[in-house]
């Protein structure tokens, strides 16, 4: 998941952002980690 979030930051596309939003709801821990770095 961390890799996915990294890609989302590098390539903020609509599809990636939607994927992140869905991931956020199911993996709050990963969200926090991604937000820090």
pTM reported for the whole predicted model: 0.19
- Cα of first residue to Cα of last residue in the chain, in angstroms, is 13
Please give the helix or strand (H or E) that residue 31 lies within, else none.
Answer: helix 28-36
* Span 1-22, pLDDT tens digits: 455 555 555 555 555 566 666 6
Domain coverage including residue 18: 2-36
Q: Domains in the chain: how many in total? A: 1
* pLDDT score of 1: 46
* Span 26-36, pLDDT tens digits: 655 655 655 55
Give φ, ψ of 11 to 5 degrees: -130, 80
Alpha-carbon torsion (15, 34, 23, 28), positive or negative:
negative
């Amino acid at each position: 998941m961390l890799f996915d979030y990294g890609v989302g930051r590098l390539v903020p596309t609509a599809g990636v952002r939607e994927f992140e939003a869905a991931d956020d709801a199911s993996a709050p821990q990963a969200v926090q980690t991604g937000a820090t770095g």
